[in-house]
């Protein structure tokens, strides 16, 4: 398994260009299932989850072209015939966001078989709200041998029916999954207590370009007027706000001077406000943010909330920064039940973090030392890299495949601004 070797101590200086958002690209690729027309998506990030989604769609009979290269990160998807509308376990188990094909499949073909995603390192990750919403739209859903089988009315022959759905909890992919299903339902669907994440709005923009009739995406209430068919479209994926936030913290924690470009600062309000509270200097442009040290970091607590609150996907990275702040920082994780795996690894590097239920307390600042550490999930991996950038000596990070799921060319982007980071394959890979 690939490892990173990171030698700490260099301030990061220069420019980092942000890639397209994985969490926008995944639902937008799934939306291609809704039409036999061609969907072209620009600004697709070259990350492992996108390749997994390509394999998933191809396994169902879709034609998927995935082109990377200097000029374009583009995918062309054509779901002319879905010969095998099944999301198989061997793919779903590697990426639980595969559940995003459930709504589109049942809306397009009347039937869907999707392996239950199962949990992951950060929590149980149920999809009961996806199921409840589809049942409210007239679907019959049964479970057998670890698979969900969903059928539209009349045993898969009829269309889903418009409904009034109030989400018990705010769910990002739940909102996206059901939004896609509703575009082809008969009649109007009103969703309340929706996720307001920018990725939901990005998906709705694509769906409306395909001929859907969606209003209110980005707010808590979304109205969808069902249509009989959708057509092909071309769409550019939003910049990745979590990648941008991760590099802002990289610039802050190393006391560097970093210009993060091709991002959308409007999607980073909560993080920007918190970093400024810590004393970090930020110059916010239209599509870029320059981050510099503003002297000693001050402790400022966070509590993760749904968008536009402080994002749970930035919690681990912020905790790494908090180890370098003077004072005690409280970090409360309200979204996932087990998203503190990075704590014990940070403590092995010399941090002083204690956990009580959903709240971690980081006492800083502490000098971090290099160590051999283990990555456990995507954002925890990023947190450990950030800590290693300021640790004394050479840190070895194992299982960086977690990081490859959601960050494009992570180590190259960091090396280009002065970080001492390299990827070390297993001893059996050729030198």
Q: Does 336 bind ligand EPZ (CB under 6 A)?
A: yes
Write out the binding residues for ligand EPZ, residues 389-408 only, by CB under 6 A.
406
Our finding on whether 270 is near ligand EPZ (CB under 6 A) is no
Using the rule CB under 6 A, is 317 a contact of ligand EPZ?
A: no
Considering only residues 157-186, where is the footprint of ligand EPZ by CB under 6 A?
169, 171-174
Residues 26-45 that bind ligand EPZ (CB under 6 A): 26
| Edge-to-edge strands, sheet with 86-87 | 86-87, 111-115, 147-151, 140-144
> Least distance to ligand EPZ from the beta carbon of 28, Å?
11
CB contact at 8 A, 16 and 261: yes
Told to judge if 120 belongs to the known catalytic residues of this protein, a careful annotator would answer yes
The minimum distance between CB 249 and ligand EPZ, in angstroms, equals 15
Does 6 sit near ligand EPZ (CB under 6 A)?
no
210 binds ligand EPZ (CB under 6 A): no
| Site track for ligand EPZ across 279-298, x = CB under 6 A | --------------------
Q: Which of 97, 179, 184, 230 binds ligand EPZ (CB under 6 A)?
A: 97
Q: Interface residues for ligand EPZ in 64-93 (CB under 6 A)?
A: none
Cβ-based nearer residue to ligand EPZ, 61 or 123:
123
Site string for ligand EPZ, 44-63 (x = CB under 6 A): --------------------
Residue closer to ligand EPZ (CB basis): 79 or 178 = 178
Which is closer to ligand EPZ, CB of 205 or CB of 313?
A: 313
> What is the total count of residues that contact ligand EPZ (CB under 6 A)?
25
Q: Which is nearer to ligand EPZ, 22 or 159 (CB)?
A: 22
Binding flag, residue 308, ligand EPZ (CB under 6 A): no
For residues 360 and 331, the answer to whether their CB atoms sit within 8 Å is yes
In terms of CB distance, is 169 or 422 closer to ligand EPZ?
169
Catalytic residue among 79, 120, 278, 375: 120
Find the shortest distance in angstroms from Cβ 428 to ligand EPZ.
30
Residue 103 engages ligand EPZ in binding (rule: CB under 6 A): no
Tokens of 15: 């420019």
Q: Binding to ligand EPZ (CB under 6 A): which residues in 348-377? A: none
Nearest residue (CB) to ligand EPZ, 42 versus 128? 128
Written in H, E and C, the secondary structure of the chain is CCEEEEECCCCCEEEEECCECHHHHHHHHHHHHHCCCEEEEECCCCCHHHHHHHHHHHHCCCEEEEECCCCCCEEEEECCCCCCCEECHHHHCCCHHHHHHHHHHHHHHCEEEEECCCCECCECCCCHHHHHHHHHCCCEEEEECCEEEEECCCCCCCCCECCEEECCCCCHHHHHHHHHHHHCCECEEEEECCCCCHHHHHHHHHHHHCCCEEECECECCEEEECCCCCCCEEEECCECHHHHHHHHHHHHHCCCEEEEECCCHHHHHHHHHHHHHCCCEEEECCCEEEEECCCCEECCCEEECCCCCECHHHHHHHHHHHCCEEEEEEEECCCCCCCCHHHHHHHHCCCCEEEECCEEEEEECCCCECCEEECCCHHHHHHHHHHHCCCECEEEEECCHHHHCCCCCHHHHHHCCCCEEEEECCCCCCC
Give the one residue of 74, 108, 130, 402 binding ligand EPZ; rule: CB under 6 A. 130
Active site residues: 120
The binding site for ligand EPZ (CB under 6 A) comprises 23, 26, 97, 123-130, 169, 171-174, 195, 199, 312-313, 335-336, 378-379, 406
């Amino acid at each position: 398994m690939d490892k990173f070797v990171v030698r700490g101590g260099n301030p990061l200086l220069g420019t980092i260009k942000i890639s397209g958002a994985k969490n926008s690209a995944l639902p937008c690729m799934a939306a291609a299932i809704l039409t036999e027309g061609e969907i072209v998506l620009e600004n697709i990030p070259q990350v492992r989850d996108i390749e997994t989604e390509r394999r998933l769609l191809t396994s169902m009979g879709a034609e998927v072209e995935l082109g990377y290269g200097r000029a374009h990160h583009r995918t062309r998807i054509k779901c002319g015939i879905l010969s095998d509308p099944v999301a198989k376990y061997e793919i779903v188990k590697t990426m639980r966001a595969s559940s995003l094909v459930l709504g589109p499949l049942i809306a397009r073909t009347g039937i869907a078989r999707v392996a239950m995603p199962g949990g992951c390192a950060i929590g149980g990750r149920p999809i009961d709200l996806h199921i409840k919403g589809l049942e409210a739209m007239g679907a019959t859903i049964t479970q057998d041998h670890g698979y969900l089988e969903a059928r539209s009315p009349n045993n898969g022959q009829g269309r889903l029916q418009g409904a009034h759905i109030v989400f018990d909890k705010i769910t990002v992919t739940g909102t996206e999954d059901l939004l896609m299903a509703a575009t082809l339902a008969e009649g109007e669907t009103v969703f309340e207590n929706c996720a307001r994440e920018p990725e939901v709005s990005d998906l709705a923009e694509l769906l409306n370009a395909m001929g859907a009739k969606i209003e209110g995406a980005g707010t808590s209430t979304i109205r969808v007027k069902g249509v009989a068919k959708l057509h092909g479209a071309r769409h550019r994926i939003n910049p990745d706000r979590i990648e941008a936030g991760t590099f802002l913290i990289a610039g802050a924690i190393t006391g560097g001077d970093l210009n993060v470009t091709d991002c959308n600062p409007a999607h980073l309000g909560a993080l920007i406000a918190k970093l400024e509270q810590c004393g970090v200097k930020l110059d916010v442009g239209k599509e870029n943010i320059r981050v510099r040290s503003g002297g000693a970091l001050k402790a400022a607590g966070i509590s993760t909330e749904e968008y536009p609150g402080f994002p749970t996907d930035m919690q681990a990275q912020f905790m790494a920064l908090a180890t370098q702040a003077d004072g005690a920082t409280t970090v409360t994780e309200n979204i996932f039940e087990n998203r503190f795996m990075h704590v014990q690894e940070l403590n092995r590097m010399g941090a002083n973090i204690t956990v009580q239920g959903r709240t971690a307390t980081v006492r800083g600042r502490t000098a971090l030392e290099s160590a051999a550490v283990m990555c456990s999930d995507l954002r925890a991996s990023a947190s450990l890299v950030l800590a290693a950038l300021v640790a004394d000596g050479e840190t070895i990070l194992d299982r960086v495949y977690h990081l490859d799921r959601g960050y494009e060319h992570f180590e190259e982007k960091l090396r280009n601004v002065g970080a001492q980071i390299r990827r070390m394959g297993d001893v059996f890979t050729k030198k």
